[in-house]
Chain A
Amino acid sequence: MANPNGRLHLWAFLQGIGFHPGGWRHAAATPSAVFQRDYYERTARTAEKGCFDAIVFGDQLQGRDAAGRTPGRLAIPTLDPFTLLSVMAGATNNIGLVATVSTTYNEPGEVAAKFAALDYLSQGRAGWNIVTTAHPNSAPNFGEAELLQKSLRYQRAQAFLDAAELFWRASCGGPVDRQAMHNAWFQFDGTLDFPCPPQGRPVIVQAGQSPDGRDFAARSAEAIFCPAPSIEAGREFRDDIRTRVKAAGRDPDGVKIMPGLAIVLGDTEEAAERTHAQLLELADDGLCIEYLSESIGYDLTVHNPNVLIPLDEILATCEFPKGDITRMLTPAVEKGQTIAELSRGYVKKPRGHGIFCGTPEQMANHMETWINAGACDGFTLQPGFMPLELDLFCAEVVPLLQQRDLLRKEYQGTMLRDHLGLGALA
C-alpha cells in the first residue's frame, strides 16, 4: 500500500516577494503586500491547501548594503521570520513553520524560548533551520569586528543546540545534562519556565554543505536543504549524508534531503520561457549591478557600468574575504567582461541555483524523476515571484503529484514531525 504521507515532501521557501531579484517588478507581484498581515495569512493557507510539509523563511542579520550604500532597486528579502511564522500559525492548522536562526549572535536560552513559544502557538508545527551566519556585515551589527572562524562557528552551533535541547527537556520535566551548561562556549546554571513544546522541541533542519556542516547534519538534522544542480549531484549528496547518518547511529530515513528548486511555471513551455525572459528583463542593468555589489561587499554603482571589472580596486576595499572574491571574479576578468556583462550573467543564476521553467506536467515529471532516482526526498520550492507562482503550483502541479501518489492528499497528523514521518521523540 502507498505511504499516505507520500514519497515526495514539499517545503515552500518564501523569500520576500519571491526568489528572482527582478520578481518584485512583475505585473502580478505585490511588493507592498509583504508589509501586510493578510498576505502571510493567505499565503500560508495556500501552501497548506497544497499539502506542503512546511513553510520556511531564511534569515539575514545584515542589510543589503555594500560599503554603506543600500541598493535602491532590490527588495527587502524577508521580514523577521518568527513574526511571519507566528502570524501564519494563527491562520492555519497543519502546515509546519520553519524559522532560520543563527547560533552565532543569539543565546541558547533565548532561542529555546522563542521556539517553545512558536511550537506552543502552532501546537507542534515549529522547525529550526540552524545556520551559523557567514555574512561579514553581520558582526558589526552585534558589536563584533569580525565573524567567528568557520570551524569554530560549527563547534559553537553544536554546543548551542545541546544547550537549547537542555532548556526544552527541562521545560518538559526531563533530566538536565550538566555538560551542556558548563563548557568552552556556555556557562549557565538555570533554565527558563516556558511551556513544554508540543513536539518536545522544534524539528531540526540544516543547510551547510561543507564537511563540518555535513557532520553536524548527520548528528542532528531531520531535514537538509542543499543545492542540487543535477540528479547525479543530488544522488551523490544524498548517499553521502545517508552514510554519515548511519555512521552516527541514526536511521537514514529520519533525514529528508530537500534540494532547493526555483520555479517559473506556464501553461505551455513557451509561456513559461516568456515569463522567465520577462523576469530577466525586469532585472535591468542597474538592478543586476546592485545585486552583484551586495554579493561581493563592494559598491559597483560608483563605476561606469561599461568599464572592465576593476578587480584591484574591488579587492582593495571590499568587505568580504579577498580569496573568495578573487576566485569568483577571475573568470570574468579573464574573459574581459564589463561590470554590466558580469552582473547580467550573475543574475541569470541567482546564488548559484538553477531555475526550473516549464509546464505543470513537466514540473511533476521532473519531481517524479528525481524521487525515483533517489536524488532527493522532496523539494524546497522557491517561487520566482509571489504570490502567483505559488498559487499556480498549488492549483496545477499539486493535483498531478497527488494523482501519481507522490504527494499526500491530506495531512496524516497535525505536527511537523508527523509530516516528515518522524516518530515522537524518545
Chain B
Amino acid sequence: MFLSACLDLLPEESGAPGFAHYSSRAKAAEDAGLDVLILGRETAGGIAPGRLEALVTMPWIAGVARRAAVVGVLPALHSVPFHVARALSAIDFLSDGRTGWMPAVPGGDRFDHAYGPAYTLPAGETVAKYDDFIRATQALWDSWDDDALVLDKDRGEYLDSTKVRRVAYEGPYFSTMGPLNAARPPQGHPLLFREGISAATTPADVRLAAADETASGAVFVKTDLAGLTGTLKGEPSALGIHLTGNPSAADIAAARAIMPAASAVSGTLRDRLGLARPINPFTKAAL
C-alpha cells in the first residue's frame, strides 16, 4: 500500500538555516517510507498550492528525494496550459517519470487577489474551467507521439516530423495551437491527482478521498495517524493512504510500520501504481 503526505515550506523556514531544515525534512520524509510527496499545503478547504511555487520546486525535490514520487499542487484556475505542459514534460524526464500534478481550487482566493479581476470567475464555472485547463494541457502533451524522437546522428534524423503536430485545442476558457516545444513525457501524462471536485468530467488517475466518500478508480484514503489503524481495517483494498495533519518523519515511519508494504518502489509512478498509459488520440494506429 502506498503512502502520500503534503510537504509545504513552513513560514519559519526562510533564511539559510530554514533552507537546511526544509531540505532535511524532505529527505527524512522519504527515508521514513513516504512514497509520494505532495508539494502543497493542507487547508480547511482542502489541499492548496504551497508557499514554494510547485513547478520550480518539483525538480529540486526530485533530486533530494531520489526514490519517492513528487506531485505538484498548482492553482487550477490561475495556470497556463502551455507553461504547465512544458514544465511537467521536463520534470517528468528529469525525474524518470516520478511525477504527478494536482490542479487545485482551494486557496484560489489569494491568487484572485494577486492576479486581478481578469481571473475572477463567475459563480458556478469553477469545474468547467478546471476541466478545460486539464484538457488543454493534456492535448499539448499529445502533440508529440511517444516515439517521435529518433536521435540518429549518422542519418541526421532527430525526430520524425509526421509524429509531431499542431493540436489547435479550443475550449471555453483556453485555446492553444501547439505543438508543445517539449516531447511527450515518459509517463505519457504525469499522473493527475484530485481531491474533491466530484463534478469534474476529466478522469483523474488518483483520487484522495475520505473513507466515507464514494470515489471510483485508484484511491488514496485520507486519514491522520490516529485514525490509521481503523482506516486500514475499513479500507483493506485501497491503493494508498494519504496521511493528513502535516505528519513529521516520525509520524510517517509510524504509519509505514503498520501498513502493508508498497507493491513497487521503482519505475515510473504510473507503473508503480499499476495504472494504464493514456492513449494519444492523435497517434496513427500502427498498420
B41-57 interface mask toward A, CB cutoff 8 Å, 1 = contact, 0 = none?
Answer: 00000000001110111
Query: Is the CB of A24 closer than 8 A to any CB of chain B?
Result: yes
Query: Is the CB of B3 closer than 8 A to any CB of chain A?
Result: no
Query: Is the CB of B175 closer than 8 A to any CB of chain A?
Result: yes
A79 touches B90 (CB 8 A): yes
A70-85 interface mask toward B, CB cutoff 8 Å, 1 = contact, 0 = none?
Answer: 1111111101101110
Residues of B within 8 A of A (CB): 9, 11, 13-16, 18-19, 51-53, 55-60, 62-64, 78-80, 82-83, 86-87, 89-91, 93-96, 110-118, 143, 150-151, 153, 156-161, 164-166, 174-183
Known: A76-B183, A90-B63. A141 touches B178 (CB 8 A): yes
B113 touches A118 (CB 8 A): no
Interface pick from A147-155, A281-289, A304-312: A281-289
A114–B51 Cα distance when bound, in Å, is: 11
A87 touches B94 (CB 8 A): yes
Query: Is the CB of A60 closer than 8 A to any CB of chain B?
Result: yes
Q: Which of B52, B79, B117 has the most CB of A within 10 A?
A: B52
Q: How far is the CB of A172 from chain B (nearest CB, A)?
A: 9
A74–B115 Cα distance when bound, in Å, is: 37
B177 touches A140 (CB 8 A): yes
B14 touches A36 (CB 8 A): no
Chain B residues within 8 Å of A137, by CB: 177
Q: How far is the CB of B180 from chain A (nearest CB, A)?
A: 7
A72 touches B56 (CB 8 A): no
A24-44 interface mask toward B, CB cutoff 8 Å, 1 = contact, 0 = none?
Answer: 111101011001110011000
Q: How far is the CB of B265 from chain A (nearest CB, A)?
A: 18
B63 touches A91 (CB 8 A): yes
Interface pick from A103-111, A251-259, A321-329: A103-111
Known: A63-B179, A141-B178. A24 touches B60 (CB 8 A): no
A110 touches B164 (CB 8 A): no
B158 touches A73 (CB 8 A): yes
Give the bracket for the number of chain A residues in contact with chain B.
35 or more
A-B contact pairs, 9 of them (CB 8 A): A65-B179, A70-B179, A79-B94, A80-B91, A91-B63, A105-B80, A105-B82, A190-B114, A192-B111
Q: How far is the CB of A186 from chain B (nearest CB, A)?
A: 6
Q: How far is the CB of B186 from chain A (nearest CB, A)?
A: 9
- With beta carbons under 8 angstroms apart, the residue of A31, A71, A107 that contacts B153 is A31
A68–B165 Cα distance when bound, in Å, is: 7
Chain A residues within 8 Å of B13, by CB: 195
A62 touches B57 (CB 8 A): no
A109 touches B55 (CB 8 A): no
Nearest 9 A-B pairs (CB), nearest first? A190-B113, A140-B177, A83-B90, A90-B63, A79-B90, A117-B56, A70-B164, A109-B114, A86-B59
A90–B161 Cα distance when bound, in Å, is: 35
Query: Is the CB of A242 closer than 8 A to any CB of chain B?
Result: no
B94 touches A36 (CB 8 A): yes
B53 touches A113 (CB 8 A): yes
B164 touches A37 (CB 8 A): no
Chain B residues within 8 Å of A117, by CB: 52-53, 56-57
A63 touches B60 (CB 8 A): no
A140 touches B176 (CB 8 A): yes
A287 touches B156 (CB 8 A): yes
A175–B54 Cα distance when bound, in Å, is: 26
A82 touches B55 (CB 8 A): yes
A187–B117 Cα distance when bound, in Å, is: 7
Chain A residue with minimal CB distance to B14?
A195
Q: How far is the CB of B162 from chain A (nearest CB, A)?
A: 9
A79 touches B93 (CB 8 A): yes
Chain B residues within 8 Å of A282, by CB: 156
A137–B82 Cα distance when bound, in Å, is: 13
A113-131 interface mask toward B, CB cutoff 8 Å, 1 = contact, 0 = none?
Answer: 1101110110100000000
Q: How far is the CB of A133 from chain B (nearest CB, A)?
A: 12
- With beta carbons under 8 angstroms apart, the residue of B157, B174, B180 that contacts A73 is B157
Chain B residues within 8 Å of A198, by CB: 15-16
Q: Which of B51, B59, B80, B82 has the most CB of A within 10 A?
A: B59
A66–B143 Cα distance when bound, in Å, is: 15
B51 touches A76 (CB 8 A): no
- With beta carbons under 8 angstroms apart, the residue of A69, A86, A195 that contacts B56 is A86
B176 touches A141 (CB 8 A): yes
Q: How far is the CB of B83 from chain A (nearest CB, A)?
A: 7
Chain B residues within 8 Å of A87, by CB: 59-60, 62-63, 94
Chain B residues within 8 Å of A110, by CB: 53, 78-79, 115
Known: A79-B90, A84-B90. A141 touches B82 (CB 8 A): yes
A421–B80 Cα distance when bound, in Å, is: 36
B158 touches A75 (CB 8 A): yes
Query: Is the CB of A194 closer than 8 A to any CB of chain B?
Result: yes
Known: A70-B164, A80-B89, A287-B156. A32 touches B151 (CB 8 A): yes
Chain B residue with minimal CB distance to A182?
B116
A83 touches B178 (CB 8 A): no
A257–B204 Cα distance when bound, in Å, is: 49
- With beta carbons under 8 angstroms apart, the residue of A32, A70, A83, A195 that contacts B52 is A195
